[in-house]
Structure 1
Amino acid sequence: MPDPAGYTYGTDEVARSPVSLAELDELRGTVGLTEEDEHYLPEEQPEVVLRELLEFFVG
């Protein structure tokens, strides 16, 4: 079965994040995201929850 059209996850075509892993950890601490919180995040879209938290705190 072929991959869906436009599917590039895990390939060199996907842009690299401008945020380092260290900066991501700092952001998690800033918004108060704990390991328990991460346990309850939907596995498919944790970035949505992080974005909403960031928007809540930063505006």
Structure 2
Amino acid sequence: MQNLKNTKTIVTWAGQHTVEKNKETILTHWLHITNISDDQEQDWMWYSNRIGSDTFSKR
């Protein structure tokens, strides 16, 4: 496994292609985490995690 010690941010996406009412759409969920220094973890750990979703459709 690669050493991620110097990595500041990691992002992962997962998505699913669907067709509803003849419209192609990709529904996604994502997780974005940012490294917090050890001395700040107690106060900022949960602020370093961002979770969301997006919907992509053809116009």
Larger relative contact order, structure 1 or 2 (CA cutoff 8 Å, min sep 6): 2
The TM tier, using the shorter chain, reads under 0.3
**Structure with greater Cα Rg:** 2
| Structure having the larger proportion of residues in helix | 1
| Structure having the larger proportion of residues in strand | 2
Q: TM-score, normalised by structure 1?
A: 0.21
